[in-house]
Amino acid sequence: MKILHINSSSRGAESRSLQLADVFLRELQKRKAVEVDRFDLFSGELPEFGELAVGAKMAMFAGVEATFEQKAAWAGIKAVFDRFASADAYLINVPLWNNGLPYVLKQFIDVVTQPGWAFGFDLETGYSGLLKDRKACIIHASGVYHRSIPANFGSDFSTPYLSDWLQFVGLEEADIHQIHYAPTVVNADLEGIRQRVEQQAAGIASRF
């Protein structure tokens, strides 16, 4: 099994979501042969989907020749997609930022979610995901917000967004597993929470 581990935390070894992702991988590697490709999104290797890349995409749609610079930008986009598409499964660790996901993870999503690569479109039936027969585990972490907290302590738009995106590109809802490590700061039983989520991660890994 080849897993693309998408690390969208900027905290390095201090990241709670990354620590739990490592627990998941250790448990999984006890049970089967796993090749892990870790993509640290804050490393600076993720290309921008800016003017040159968009120009290359629009030139392709219009059937005209892209410029040398546009072609180079598009090659960088394709390289990231190929890395994404070559995986059998995805492990995504993501902290909750301002009720949503970190900007660099949205950038990754915008880079790889391209027509003809990640999804198709039909005038009669609409969109269809092209990345079939894959599974995912998403590890969310938040310092304060959790599902039973009052509304004035925050919201979570990250969980439904990532689930919807993965289904959009072709994964089945049943193959998307989500773990919520929360709260990681404001709670009297932080050790109990850590043990609970590590047990949950191990359980998912045993069935992954």
Cβ-contact 167, 131 below 8 angstroms: no
CA distance 45 to 43: 6
| Contact by Cβ (8 Å): 108, 118 | no
Whole-prediction pTM: 0.94
| pLDDT tens digit sequence for 84-120 | 999 999 999 999 999 999 999 999 999 999 999 999 9
Strand ranges of the sheet holding 2-7, from the earlier edge strand across to the other edge: 35-40, 2-7, 89-95, 135-141, 176-181
What are the structural domain ranges in the chain? 2-48+82-207
Token pair in block for residue 153: 């302590």
Size of the chain, expressed as the number of residues it contains = 208
Radius of gyration of the chain (CA): 18
Homologous superfamily of 2-48+82-207 in CATH?
A: Flavodoxin domain (3.40.50.360)
Q: What is the C-alpha to C-alpha distance for residues 99 and 84, in angstroms, rounded to an integer?
A: 26
Q: What is the pLDDT of residue 163?
A: 98
CA dihedral 194, 39, 101, 17 (to 10 degrees): 10
Kindly state the DSSP code that residue 123 receives in the 8-state scheme: T
What is the residue-level pLDDT of the chain in tens, covering all 208 positions? Answer: 999 999 999 999 999 999 999 999 999 999 999 999 999 999 999 999 999 999 999 998 898 999 999 999 999 999 999 999 999 999 999 999 999 999 999 999 999 999 999 999 999 999 999 999 999 999 999 989 888 887 888 899 999 999 999 999 999 999 999 999 999 987 778 899 999 999 999 999 999 9
Cα-flanking dihedrals φ and ψ of residue 180, to 5°? Answer: -115, 110
